[in-house]
Amino acid sequence: MRHFDHIDTALRKHLFFRHPRGFDRHDDPAVLAVALGATLYTPAIRPRLADDVAKAAARGVTSLVVCLEDAVADADLPAAEANAVAQLRLLHERGGPAPLLFVRVRAPEQVGDLVERLGDAAALLTGFVLPKFTGASGGPFLDAVAAAADRTGLRLLAMPVIESREAVHTETRADLLREVALLLAKHRERILAVRIGATDMSSAYGLRRPPDLTIYDIGPVAGVIADVVNVLGRADGTGHVVTGPVWEYFSAGERMFKPQLRQTPFEAQQAVPLRSRLIGTDLDGLIREVHLDKANGLTGKTVIHPSHVAAVHALSVVTHEEYCDAADILGVAGGGAMASSYANKMNEAKPHRAWAERLMLRAHVFGVAAEDVTFVELLEAAGAR
């Protein structure tokens, strides 16, 4: 699969200075972690799940989680498991393109049970999402994934979710994150990315962010995110890709604050109707939050509606200016400072190197925009609506 493959070839040639590279579920986990992009969650109980997955792939979705945890009522769990197995087996029989597929389980024993029930269709899975992950609960989950992989010969990766009360509360957070870091280090080859469960974090305080605010405006949760990145997202070789928390809105209600998208960039691209559609579906808030995710060290995002995917992926494309800066930085040995190619900033070879290396990995899977192409053009081409 390849990002933006669902748009016209001629348009892709116009949009990109360097085109996105293809990838599949067998690639290096370091590549896949960045390639996840907007990870779409869907309840396992959906009766036409196989069709939904195929449609999502056609709309540019490259990673999808079939959820058996919070998205499914307790009483519906047996039916949801049976449906997930039947639908994934149907998807496997049909063949054709599919996103990177994961199952979010509730308990460790579900991992082996589902893999066994899927049979040959288990080959569709890239791995499992592990909820409420702590130093104590995480070990059995990771052991279950490892056992299923050993039994089947499949490479199954894990994405733990930091969302427990112990992670949220100040008095237990530091110890929990240290324990999780040690546990993940022991299973490093199996950890694809660390996900952040902002909904559960907010629940610990009885909070829910409105659509015209970002998660970074919710102080108690923003503090947790900062600490997760501090401990688990370091750029010293010990860290992991940490993904952005879920954006849970897809229709507009009454707004209290002004839209968060300036009109000028859309006027310049003659795309004012696109701006109106984004604002009308609260996607201006998503776009603002993705910018803040990137600034705070997060990569990709959890989403719950296909209309979110284009915005996340358009904002994941490396700009021509960013690419030039990164290439200049990585082209220097021994340190030093230099003016940027765009003559608007200073690049320092040593302190900016880790940033440049991460950016080049994102450029590998999402591409580099052509010099005069803005995110507005990428967004419109990717199909935001």
Residue 225 placed within a domain:
yes
CA atoms within 13 A on the CB side of 305: 14
Strand 195-196 versus strand 244-247 pairing type: unpaired
CA dist 149 and 156 (Å) reads 6
Q: What percent of the chain has pLDDT over 90?
A: 82
Q: How far, CA to CA in Å, does 340 sit from each of 209, 291, 332?
A: 38, 22, 13
pLDDT confidence tier of residue 123, bands split at 50, 70 and 90? very high
> Does any domain span residue 355?
no
**pLDDT on residue 385:** 43
Separation between Cα atoms, residue 77 and residue 80, nearest integer Å: 5
Confidence category of residue 380, pLDDT binned at 50, 70, 90: confident
Summarised one tens digit per residue, pLDDT across range 281-305 is: 568 889 999 999 999 999 999 999 9
Kindly report the backbone phi and psi dihedral angles of residue 350, in degrees, each rounded to the nearest multiple of 5, phi listed first. -80, -55
Task: Report yes or no on 64 lying in a domain.
Answer: yes
Residue 200, token pair as written in the block: 């559960």
Query: What percent of the chain has a predicted confidence (pLDDT) above 70?
Result: 91
In a domain, 95, yes or no: yes
Q: How many residues does the chain have?
A: 385
- For the chain, give the mean pLDDT: 92
pLDDT at position 280 over 80? no
- Whether 254 shows a pLDDT value over 60: the answer reads no
pLDDT at residue 250, rounded to an integer? 74
Q: Is residue 267 part of a domain?
A: yes
Alpha helices in the chain (DSSP H): 9-15, 29-35, 49-58, 77-94, 108-118, 138-152, 165-168, 170-186, 198-203, 219-232, 264-268, 272-280, 283-295, 309-314, 320-330, 353-366, 375-382
Ramachandran sector of residue 179 (left: φ over 0; alpha: ψ -120 to 50; beta: rest):
alpha
Q: Answer whether residue 46 shows pLDDT above 90.
A: yes
pLDDT reported for residue 299: 98
Domain that holds residue 245: 26-317
Is 8 inside any structural domain?
A: no
* pLDDT grade for 277, boundaries at 50, 70 and 90: low
| Number of independent structural domains in the chain | 1
Please name the residue that has the structure tokens 């036409």.
48
Going by their DSSP bridges, the two strands 63-67 and 38-43 should be labelled as: parallel
Q: Which residue has the tokens 């699969």?
A: 1
Q: How confident is the model at residue 257 (pLDDT cuts 50, 70, 90)?
A: very low
Provide the pLDDT confidence category of residue 212 given band limits of 50, 70 and 90.
confident
pLDDT tens digits along 125-145: 999 999 999 999 999 999 999
What is the pLDDT, as a whole number, of residue 211?
86
Structure confidence at residue 260 (pLDDT): 55
Which range is most confident: 232-236, 339-343, 379-383?
232-236
- pLDDT of 322 > 70? The answer is yes
Is 365 a domain residue? no
Residue 326 lies in a domain: no
Q: Give the DSSP per-residue string, 291-310.
A: HHHHHTT--SEEESSGGGHH
Nearest 5°: the CA angle 280, 283, 287 is: 145
Query: What pTM did the predictor assign?
Result: 0.91
328, 338 Cβ separation under 8 angstroms: yes
Which CATH number does the domain housing residue 137 bear? 3.20.20.60
Question: Nearest to residue 307, comparing CAs of 234, 229, 251?
Answer: 251
Neighbours of 385 (CB within 10 A): 12
First to last CA, the chain: 23
Position 204 scores a pLDDT of 95
Residue 351: count other Cβ atoms within 10 Å of its Cβ: 11
